[in-house]
Amino acid sequence: EDMARSLEEFVCVAMGRGASDRRAPVAAGAEWVWEDASLRYSGRSNILEHVMMSVRAIPDLRTDIIEVAREGPASLAVDLCCSGTQATMYLPHWPIRKFVSWRLRSVVTFDSQLHITRKHVRLLLEEKLGLQPQMLEGLSNCARALASTPSGCRVLQRAIEEPGAGDCGCLVEQLRGHVWEAAASPHANHVLQKLIANVHPARVRFVAEEFRGRAAAAARHRVRGRVIERLLEHAPAEHLGDLVEELLDACPMLCHHAFGNFVVQRLLEHGTAKQRHRLAACLAADAARMAKSKIGSSVLRCALVHCAGEDRARLAGALEADPSRAEELNRHLFGG
């Protein structure tokens, strides 16, 4: 009860009632963390300054406590509804001039004086609650900011998979025009992959279009190549014409590339019969060299599984022209 009372006092602070009050129940060395938005504040004065700045930016800020449960001997887990309209930019993850309502879970830790020593906040995406329309809109409006952080990108991925997310149209639109940089991000690329795998192909057709002229370069990139792989796995062939043409033209190089070879393998697995035929011709011309390398032999093995019988025979013939080539592929450590 005492911790709950102290928490209520802090909620008053968080809503702007007494934010400058020296009696606010926050310890001198307290830490405040919003994981999803990668926000972190240390020290009582910095935390209270952040609260005051938030209240100024969001004049109608409202925080309602939904549920409180004991998390530990000196901690409470608090489910909150935090809503309002950010009038001036302060919080990068909060849309401007749009009312949003967030469901949050805050784990609050207290010291022996019932002063808050740590507050850890994250967005609450629970299956039992579903994804509320206002919350999806809020996430969508700050999608690029969230996608660029480790925790934010995880929130977006969870949101995309939520039953209430629908076609994620508003979220998708925030990434339009930003695919190239998002695909290179160690965090945002996962959001793109999740969208490609879960959203109607028509909604994400622009992703392939934004790789136009740079598909081969993307395939050779450690991170962008994964987005290309998801496109080959999930997008219909009619959406990928130009992109696949670029990959086919670059096939001789990609087959030997540390990252590009995975893109070639996805194309062998999911491409059209005509595309597989063209790839087989390319591979047959270089089968001897490919059979002797870890990367090349992996591509050959994939082709021998997924190509049509005629093309498999052509590859086998290219290897058997010199018995040592076929032998090499059979006994090579990486060739099966």
**Tens-place pLDDT, residues 114-133:** 888 999 998 876 544 445 66
- pLDDT at residue 245, as a whole number: 97
- pLDDT at residue 18, as a whole number: 47
Q: How far apart are CA 50 and CA 114, in angstroms?
A: 21
- pLDDT at residue 277, as a whole number: 97
Q: How far apart are CA 147 and CA 271, in angstroms?
A: 30
Helix (H) or strand (E) holding 108: strand 99-110
- pLDDT at residue 38, as a whole number: 74
Please report, for residues 32, 37, 48, 188, 260, the alpha-carbon distance to residue 26 in angstroms, rounded to integers and kept in the order given: 10, 22, 9, 35, 53
- pLDDT at residue 51, as a whole number: 87
The radius of gyration of the chain from alpha carbons, rounded to an integer in Å, stands at 27
> How much of the chain, in percent, has pLDDT values that exceed 70?
84
Instruction: Give me the mean pLDDT over the 139-154 stretch.
Output: 83
220 CB-near residues (< 8 Å, 6+ apart)? 253, 254, 257, 259, 260
Instruction: Give me the mean pLDDT over the 172-197 stretch.
Output: 95
Q: Is the per-residue pLDDT at 142 higher than 90? A: no
- Both tokens of residue 68? 């409180």
Q: Is the per-residue pLDDT at 140 higher than 90? A: no
- pLDDT at residue 196, as a whole number: 96
Of 165-179, 198-212, 250-264, 322-336, the one with minimum mean pLDDT is 322-336
- Identify residue 218 by its one-letter amino acid code: A
- pLDDT at residue 133, as a whole number: 63
More confident residue, 6 or 214: 214
One-character DSSP codes across 11-62: HHHHTTSSTT-TTSSEEEEEEEEETTTTEEEESHHHHHHHHHHHHHH-TT-E
20 CB-near residues (< 8 Å, 6+ apart)? 48, 52
Binned at pLDDT 50, 70 and 90, residue 218 comes out as very high
304 CB-near residues (< 8 Å, 6+ apart)? 312, 315, 316
CB burial string 51-64: b at 16+ within 10 A, e below: beebbebbeebebe
Binned at pLDDT 50, 70 and 90, residue 335 comes out as very low
End-to-end CA distance of the chain: 66
134 CB-near residues (< 8 Å, 6+ apart)? 83, 99, 100, 101
Mean pLDDT over each residue of the chain, to the nearest integer = 85
Which residue's entry shows tokens 């949101």?
159
More confident residue, 183 or 329: 183
**Tens-place pLDDT, residues 251-300:** 999 999 999 999 999 999 999 999 999 999 999 999 988 988 999 999 99
Q: What domains are defined for the chain?
A: 1-124 (3.10.450.50)
- Identify residue 230 by its one-letter amino acid code: R
Q: How far apart are CA 211 and CA 18, in angstroms?
A: 52
Report which of 255, 259, 199, 279 is spatially closest to residue 231, judged by C-alpha positions: 199
**Quick one: CA dihedral 299, 304, 307, 311, positive or negative?**
positive
- pLDDT at residue 325, as a whole number: 57
Binned at pLDDT 50, 70 and 90, residue 333 comes out as very low
More confident residue, 8 or 271: 271
Please report, for residues 44, 155, 182, the alpha-carbon distance to residue 179 in angstroms, rounded to integers and kept in the order given: 40, 19, 5
Which residue's entry shows tokens 């060395």?
29
- Please state whether beta strands 26-34 and 116-123 pair in parallel, antiparallel, or not at all (unpaired): parallel
- pLDDT at residue 113, as a whole number: 87
Q: Is the per-residue pLDDT at 10 higher than 60? A: no
Q: Is the per-residue pLDDT at 181 higher than 60? A: yes
